[in-house]
Chains A and B, each alone.
Chain A
Amino acid sequence: MGNKSSLLLREEEIAQIQEETGFTPNQIERLYSRFTSLDKNDCGTLSREDFLRIPELAINPLSERIVQSFFAESHDDRVNFLQFMRVLAHFRPIKKNRENKLNCREEKLRFAFSMYDLDSDGKISRDELLAILHMMVGANISEEQLTSIAERTIIEADTNNDQMISFEEFCRALERTDVEQKMSIRFLN
């Protein structure tokens, strides 16, 4: 697999990705091999099915949203490697000297925010929150309870009384959370 990936990935592509995402060439190659192994059809792009074929992901309560986040920028329901890398770049750990626009705190938060924002209108409505809660909590809790939890959550974060959580409100609500830490993955070199 490693051979194949390095064959398919040209130097300039790597350089471009590296510049845009901040991944090292090694990481890019590693991720590319993962990308190709997910790509069962060998067409250079991933479909939703390709993602959902990962067994653990399939049972992740938020799998739908996670996969969807990869398709946010694509128009044809396929994800190419660059888009794939752009999404993953959000999860690079932040290093002091190497600031990158994709993995800064705000971008991480924006990514988390997009998990909730089903209709991508920039706001989390109660129903959207409820939907996510549903996915996470499962069936054992009464609807009513979830609803009130969702409402409580919105009210807590809602500073302008529009019954929605805007991105700014979202950030404020997570002010004390170590998002940089929580939303980072150590990518192997």
Chain B
Amino acid sequence: MTVDGISTYPGLGFGPMGPVEPLPGEPPGTQLRQNQDTTTELPTTEKTKKERTFVIAAFEFHRVETPFLIGLWIFFASLAKIGFHMAPKLSRMLPESCLLVFVGVLIGALLLSTHSVHVQPLTPDTFFLYMLPPIILDAGYFMPNRLFFDHLGTILLFAVVGTVFNTLTIGASLWACGQTGMFGCTTPLLDMLLFGALISAVDPVAVLAVFEEIHVDEVLYIVVFGESLLNDAVTVVLYHMFEAYTEMGPSRLVYTDILAGLASFLVVAVGGTCIGVVWGFATGLVTRFTNEVRVIEPIFIFVMAYLAYLNAEMFHMSGILAITFCGITMKNYVEANISHKSHTTIKYTMKMLSSSSETIIFMFLGVATVNNTHVWNTWFVLLTIVFCSIFRIIGVYIFSAVANKFRLHKLNRVEKFVMSYGGLRGAVAFALVLLIDPTVVNLQPMFVTTTIAVIYFTVFIQGITIKPLVKILNVKTAEKRKPTMNERIHERCMDHLMAGIEDILGKHGNHHMRDKFKRFDNRFIRPFLLRNYQGAEPKILETYSKLAMRDAIEYMQRNASTIGNISGAESMSAIFKNYTNTNFNGSPSFSQIDTSTWNIDMQELEYNPSKKDLTDAKIHHLLAEELCKPFRRHRRLSYSRHAVNERDLGIQVNYKTHMNIRRRVGDRKHHHKRSKRGKQDGKNHVTFPEFQQNGSAKQFTHDYIDEVLQEDGEEREVRRDGDDGGITFTAKSPLPNEDILEEDERRLSDDNDNYNMIVAEQARVATPTATETMLPWKREEAEGSGALKQSEFPSWASNKEYLAYNSPSSTFLGGIEKPKHPKSIIGLFRRESSSSTQGAAEAVVLSDSEGHRESTSKGEASSKDGGVRQGPSLLSKRSTSLGGPSVLLMEDVAHSDPLGASSRPASIMQGPQRGQCRRGSMMELTGSMSRDAITEEKCCKSLPESERMGVRRLPLGQSLGREPFIRQLTLASSLTTSSSSEDSSDENT
């Protein structure tokens, strides 16, 4: 409501750059709408007020009528949908589609009785151009590819031959009945065939709506659903063919026209498919380059798929086929390229669009029922329904008999029944029948009525009864589950095995074809379409990462009690002592594990002193390293229309976050870039002689948003500026002079490292660096250099302040360092706390909504040559926003933390006692934790898994390709950090 200002109609009052001056010609008052939200803070308001008088409030409906009505429709349809689910009894008995149609009828009746608005909402154009594409895209994009192609033969048989069969038989039977005169009107053969064409097609929308609810076995589902998708081409061709024939008149019909119809079918089907595939590849290619602009990633998927649809329609090819195959094709490549957030966005948006257009379609069907002038012909309606059902059943039995000859999995009687019963007709038929020109086909009104009747019959009678029938017939229902690691690997192995056997047999079956395609795909397509091509078996990695993530979560939850035990008030030195003790004494259980079968590597055995940290490091690797690297592809095994799997998402998100950190830590290029940027925008980076600190709340938020928006996965590509943690600490420090650095220096020599970390992630970031570093150098430089190494831990890590902020990992690291450079640490500590707290503190508070500052920005020393090193900065909203901060944090910390154990406990304490615990002895914790873990081995399974894994991975970890490199990097950075910290501390003391 406008009170004293102007509420400008948003569409006019705002230009792209904000409020704009009203056009001189028209007084702003005309644009007012009473029920528009008030925008009181318009700067232009006062000025315009003085200049002229205008109507404060006005009502102009006409201008917004169309969009407003559309909005209302969507709104009410969605409201209706909510309503059904508020009444569980109702929604359990009736499928949603029935209820929606019912509501549509009510609304239609209302509109009819008021006579106020004449609405014909469901026009063929709106249907085909706006409502159908989202549903089909959703179907194609989430199509279980493998299942689909495994059963492609059967699907095509039903979709093509079955549909033609139905069309001809229904048309011919109706015509034959018409000859008896029972319909009371002339029924030309061509008209009947035209009607048969549109009524015989199984409708994807209706099938989806019903089958989604009954959860039948996936094979059954894919056969019916695939048929409903692919028969579009046939339907469209037959429809146009008969329409054209009707227009030409039967007398002038020559056989070449029939042949032309056949050819046109091929063109329509193949052309549509090709257009879809090409657009699909194009989408994949485009998303390869979107890593700089993550925000617009989802739009490509939607727009390009839609363009494929329109493109096919443009040439009168099957748009449905085009968009289906576009979705099928693009999915694999797109999902590998886009960020996780984009993926989530796509998933939700697609579900939302398809679900709402489905809702609207059914509702409009209801409305259309009431609004049309019907020509009811009882016999015609009855016979159509009967013929539809009968010929559907006959068709299914005939063609499934044919298909069974070639199928490994024979369609049994129950499946055949469900298939024939699931042949639902829907809105496609309705839209097609509306398209018929009544001047050419006189019977069009009767067709419309009959079509509606058939749709009602299938949606109501069949839709309602199919669920109980499925139960009675004991149809195998789909079990939804995630594959275990074993299943994934062994199934893949079996695939290869079967492909090999097929090759030996000289048979070109499914396995053979799939193998061939996969090879081709991996060799020629993926490398071009994927930004980071990750080897042949992305799914194994995907499964692995998911499972590892789950393990981690479970582990945390299991160990919550352990974590609670941490005492809060231990001094740093006590912690260090504890830590080293644990380290060197090692717990007996560890040695046992170490000497077990797999650890035959002598070097590994000799490297006993730090069993503890090795173990920790491995746990870390288990939880972090492994999690972060795998290719991310999140797809559900089975397709579901309206449900987005929450758990799935949660895990992915975390995983994703984690990868982000990894990237930050490991990415050298990135560092380069950051440093350059740091130099460029001096405004943000205020440079102090020794410590540099910058970052205001504003920048932080800005950066945070950027970060969230354009997270880019595991890429090690250069990232855009400003997307990283907001608060940057930079310190100039003299050259590092340690020997150990030398090899790393080569890499880093001209490298001004910047560390960017987000607050929440800070803990992990810090840790991974250290841990990862630890293993490699220990290995490389043999046992003796242990002491030396310790100096490599970043000095900030030992800062007590940070401890208090619950960055266990840094504590731990600091712990190592402390014995070596007690002075420097103290000095540094003081120094940093004084200098960094102010800046950091605000950031921290900012970042953490709950006020716990689990992530502190750590002041950080920089690399040599005045290189700018950015201290870890913050973020944690992300975690909070992802629901359940504790879980997330657990994961986050755990994964990135080199000392997996130590960090884990810390993260768990985020509950009430966090503040106290934080400061507690991480070292002690680590020790006790791991021991606990080992003892627990017998009772709980998953826990020992991770533990054991951690230990075991040791020997193997040595020969790695990429891994060491990352470690080197991180090592290098930590080295520089520590060296600089030394320097600064020297100055202090």
Contact = CB atoms under 8 A, between A and B. Distances in A.
Contact of A176 (B485, B487, B516, B597): B487
A186 interface: yes
B71 interface: no
B959 A143 contact: yes
A65 B492 CA distance: 14
Contacts of A88: 501, 504-505
Interface stretch (B623-631, B648-656, B793-801, B977-985): B623-631
A140 to B, nearest CB: 3
A184 B503 contact: no
Nearest to A183: B494
A149 B542 CA distance: 11
B632 to A, nearest CB: 14
Interface in A28-65: 31, 34, 37-38, 51, 54, 56-57, 59-63, 65
A138 B535 contact: yes
Interface in A107-137: 111-112, 115-116, 125-127, 129, 132-133, 136-137
Interface string B717-757: 00000000000000000000000000000000000000000
Interface in B919-944: 944
B865 interface: no
Contact of B505 (A34, A148, A183, A184): A34
Contact of A177 (B406, B487, B507, B625): B487
Interface string B941-964: 000110011001100110111110
Interface string B818-841: 000000000000000000000000
A66 interface: yes
Contacts of A185: 408, 498, 501-502, 505, 507, 509, 511
A142 B944 CA distance: 24
Interface residues of A, number: 64
B497 interface: yes
Contacts of A141: 534-535, 537, 541
Contacts of A187: 505
Nearest to B548: A152
Nearest to A63: B500
Contact of A156 (B479, B481, B486, B496): B486
A151 interface: yes
A38 B503 CA distance: 11
Nearest to A141: B535
Contacts of A184: 408
A116 B504 contact: no
A188 B494 CA distance: 21
A179 B500 CA distance: 17
Contact of B503 (A56, A116, A145, A149): A56
B434 interface: no
A126 to B, nearest CB: 6
B489 A153 contact: yes
A62 B496 contact: yes
B46 interface: no
Contact of A145 (B507, B519, B626): B626
A137 B596 CA distance: 27
Given A163-B597, A186-B406, A57 B503 contact: yes
B613 to A, nearest CB: 17
A183 to B, nearest CB: 6
Contacts of A179: 494
Contact of B493 (A125, A132, A163): A132
Nearest to A129: B489
Contacts of B963: 142-145
A14 interface: no
A51 B507 contact: no
Contacts of B598: 126-127, 163
Interface string B466-479: 00000000000001
Nearest to A38: B504
A55 to B, nearest CB: 8
B629 A140 contact: no
A136 B506 CA distance: 22
Contact of A148 (B489, B512, B622): B622
Nearest to B938: A161
Contacts of A9: none
A188 B504 CA distance: 14
Nearest to A64: B500
A91 B501 contact: yes
A126 B855 CA distance: 38
Contact of B496 (A111, A136, A152, A170): A136
A182 interface: yes
B535 A155 contact: no
A173 interface: yes
Nearest to B965: A142
A147 B957 contact: yes
B487 A174 contact: yes
B491 A182 contact: yes
A144 B491 contact: no
Nearest to B618: A148
A127 B948 CA distance: 16
A142 B408 contact: no
Interface in B594-646: 596-598, 621-622, 625-626, 629-630
Contacts of B960: 142-144
B540 interface: yes
A26 interface: no
Contacts of A38: 504
A157 interface: yes
Contact of B497 (A62, A126, A138, A145): A62
Contacts of B486: 153, 156-157, 165, 170, 173-174
A140 B536 contact: yes
B956 A144 contact: yes
Contacts of B500: 57, 60, 62-63, 66
Contacts of A60: 496, 499-500, 503, 515
A136 B503 contact: no
Contact of B547 (A140, A152, A181): A152
Contacts of A188: 507
Contacts of A151: 948-949, 952-953
B808 to A, nearest CB: 23
A106 to B, nearest CB: 15
A147 B963 CA distance: 12
A138 B515 CA distance: 15
B934 to A, nearest CB: 12
B535 A139 contact: yes
Given A149-B485, A176-B481, A183-B498, A93 B408 contact: yes
Nearest to A46: B504
A153 B957 CA distance: 17
B63 interface: no
B509 A51 contact: no
Contacts of A161: 944
B533 interface: yes
A165 B622 CA distance: 20
A143 B537 CA distance: 14
A188 B497 CA distance: 19
A153 B548 CA distance: 11
A176 B598 CA distance: 30
Contact of A112 (B494, B511, B534, B536): B494
B484 interface: yes
A115 B534 contact: no
Contacts of A174: 486-487, 490
Given A126-B952, A174-B486, 16 more contacts: A38-B504, A60-B500, A129-B489, A132-B493, A133-B489, A133-B540, A139-B535, A149-B541, A156-B484, A161-B944, A176-B481, A179-B494, A185-B498, A185-B505, A185-B507, A185-B511
Q: Would you list the 9 A-B pairs with minimal beta carbon distance, nearest first?
A: A140-B535, A173-B486, A66-B500, A56-B503, A57-B503, A155-B945, A147-B956, A144-B960, A62-B496
20 contacts: A38-B504, A56-B512, A60-B515, A61-B536, A62-B496, A65-B497, A66-B500, A91-B498, A93-B408, A112-B490, A140-B534, A141-B541, A142-B629, A143-B963, A144-B960, A148-B625, A173-B487, A177-B487, A185-B498, A186-B509
